[in-house]
Structure 1
């Protein structure tokens, strides 16, 4: 396999994206060369773009963003890979050590030595996928069947977050579920709950258009518009959280209030939403902690512990890509919902700054919701 240099979109500072030529690293016999064709923009990418950091993770060298990606195999280095030139693949971009106790348990997503493309957590940074092509280990390239488009292949990444959360929740079929946050991840958690758990889903967000979109497009059965309040004292915050929880419990499906829910997917990271989740979840239920928000939060923890409501951490995903791709291929409902999530498309590397500008908006110039921005390379 000949070495290449490729054009890449490179972040040098807050909102400072430049198109540069980059040499590809040395080829390992386990690698394939993949032409990147579709990349969805994620909230973490947006944080890096706007602030040159993501929470307390600082960018220490120029960084290519992008990790929700699919592409076409251009070259195969070794003979052991089942992949061939021309295969369409979804890229699972986390590269764990594969030797530690967590990896050997199958929990490679929390491997201490994980290198994840477009994250600045490890140094040198693992460069992201907003470039013409990437060398990637064949074992982390998942072949797409003909019925699954490259755009849906790119969405296998956020769908994997949702499926991993569903795995961690392990809720009984037919459960009632509350989803806090109707952004891309919240909508996909709702979609996976509908398809995998056959759940009744209530979705909550401060944006009325988003929750209406969710119900109108089959992601959820009922919605709650969270009031825009900013309580200051702890007592007022908890009173507001109870108010939102009561709104969720009063949501009606089939003419009946849903009541306390079996599981809550907390996709915002906002303190008040997690407080509300604790009050809305039934005894013995589970709250999936998906949203990355303020690292220090005041919680009514006795309201959880005295009712054995489990707070369950969810970080990325493990062992999900093959199942997500199979679901997209075999379940037309999920494929349709996922496709509806892509609300804006940009073409070519020069359009990436505009794509990031769009990803930070609630609506575009035509008044359409901005849920998932996709870059076609």
Structure 2
């Protein structure tokens, strides 16, 4: 008896740094509790870019070929056993956002609503665990039904893909205040870094009733965009620090970095007319200078939420200043139970997706993200890779 031939599908597979290959892979039927989803849109994020450029993201290096992508939306094409009994709304044809973290659903973190901290969690496109779990840069994927979220009728696939980064901000906002979408009601908010994540932080703050939203970055074009499109009311462009040779990175230079951060904070606060600081500061860069600066831009008794992933250690962190002024430093990692709210908010957010590529041109998409500007000089904010349409 000859074996049954499985249908084939296209996937963008990373084999190493800048070694992205378009391959044909077998398409397996969905298993118990899974849906098969045709992936229509995947947004590229900073971690995807790190894997593409370096073959690793921080401490996590790929150990086997890996499909990247975790900001995704698509449509269910088939369901596995048990899905319709437990999730009767997830019928074929249902448009969904794909939540890419797969938790154990049995540990204390999962039972307490903090499944983002589940020690057994596997995340699509991450090399943290092995075997790796493939991401969404493929035509179709099988995924657990309980982490698929139906889309509002008026929400496009491209915008729905932003539910993932918006979920990061929603979780950070909940950590910074109450379990309410109105966490910023009657508060002033400062956002450090206005890439896609920072712009979403601004949008969320406005939607949550902030009295004022300001932004800081080193890129004037991004700041101009944030102000022009109404994400932030006032902006400040940080001067670029002079680069010190690695051999001279001594204590004097660290003291200088701390002084520079404090001076930059003072100038920014003066520019914004907020001499006492902001109620809530979202640090969305992960850069050491901005992390240091965040403490000095927060109001006494204010909160700093660490959203950006970058610098792993800082030896000259102003811990005494944070402690004496009771500035709360809040860690935030991914998200839990945020997708329904994120999807409901996305209808009011637009103009973040600036470029789109077909799946077969995924490498071009990554190269564009790395450059930051297209051939016409247009700024790159969010690049989406899809299975429908051509490059735009």
Which TM-score applies when normalising by structure 1? Answer: 0.93
The structure-2 alpha-carbon separation of the partners of 1:352 and 1:106, relative to structure 1 and needing over 3 Å to count, comes to same
Which one of 188, 212, 219 corresponds to residue 207 of structure 1? 219
- Whether the 8 Å contact between 1:176 and 1:258 is mirrored in structure 2 is no
Matches within 5 A, 1:149-160: 149-160=156-167
1:275 maps to 292
1:202, 1:248 within 8 Å by CA — same for their partners in 2? no
Q: Is the counterpart of residue 238 in structure 1 residue 241 in structure 2? A: no
Q: Which runs of 5+ in 2 are unaligned?
A: 178-182, 388-392
Shift of 1:23: 2.6
Cα distance in 1 for residues equivalent to 2:20 and 2:256: 43
Displacement of 1:26 in angstroms is 6.0
| Cα offset, 1:138, TM superposition | 1.1
Going from structure 1 to structure 2, the CA distance change for 1:26 and 1:122 (only over 3 Å counts) comes to farther
1:372 paired residue number? 382
- Alignment match of 2:333 (pick from 302, 305, 315): 315
Counterpart among 228, 243, 263 of residue 280 in structure 2: 263
Residue 116 of structure 1 corresponds to 123
Is 1:140 aligned to residue 147 of structure 2? yes
Q: 1:172 deviation in Å?
A: 4.6
Instruction: Tell me the CA shift for residue 14 of structure 1.
Output: 0.8
Deviations 1:327-377 (A, max 9, x none): 224xxxx33xxx211111112x22100000001122211121111001121
SS at match of 1:198: coil
Judge which range, 18-27 or 157-166, deviates more: 18-27
- The worse-fitting range, judged by mean Cα deviation, of 281-290 and 242-251 is 242-251
* SS of match in other structure, 1:340: coil
- Structure 1 residue 198 displacement after superposition: 2.7
Aligned residue number for residue 238 of structure 2: 226
Please point out which of 176, 182, 186 is paired with 2:198: 186
Please name the residue that 1:90 is paired with. Answer: 97
Q: Secondary structure at the match of 1:21?
A: strand
Is the CA contact (8 Å cut-off) linking 1:286 and 1:312 kept in structure 2? Answer: yes
Aligned residues: 365
In structure 1, what is the Cα distance between the partners aligned to 2:306 and 2:203?
A: 17
| 8 Å CA contact 1:10, 1:65 repeated in 2 | yes
Deviation of the 1:197 alpha carbon: 3.8
Q: Counterparts of 1:225 and 1:259 in 2: how far apart (Å)?
A: 20
1:294 matched to 2:343? The reply is no
CA RMSD of aligned residues (A): 1.6
- On the 8 A contact 1:6/1:131 being kept in 2, the answer is yes
Q: Distance in 2 between matches of 1:147 and 1:61?
A: 39
SS of equivalent to 2:66: coil
Specify which of 38, 41, 51 is matched with residue 35 of structure 1: 38
